[in-house]
Amino acid sequence: MQEIVVMIHNGEYGRAISSLEHDVKDETLTPQQRVECCRWLAECNLRLEENGEAGNWYVEAVRIILSTRADNKAKARDALPLVRRPWRPMRKAETRPMCSWRRD
């Protein structure tokens, strides 16, 4: 993880993303470690202005949290801050209206 931090510090977001995408799929990591990879992936994508992809990584972090915890209160406590985050980047990623027709 330290080398990923160095990559991010040096502005090498693409390289960091490649390493983190590999790590997030690693089943030997704990769910918390995989969630942390998702957070870093989201932040790297935000810095590259890939807002939709950043939002997708926040959603993936929430999915990991919800799939691994038995205690619903703990799930909500950990997932809620991440649930709110993807909507801002995803809204910025939208470049055209959802539908092409207008009401007159």
Domains of the chain: which residue ranges?
Answer: 2-92
CB 78 within 8 A of CB 65: yes
User: Class for domain 2-92, per CATH?
Assistant: mainly alpha
What's the confidence (pLDDT) of residue 96?
Answer: 41
Helix, strand, or coil (residue 16) = helix
Q: What is the pTM of this model?
A: 0.70
- pLDDT per residue over 23-77, tens digit each? 999 989 999 999 999 999 999 999 999 999 999 999 999 889 888 766 777 777 7
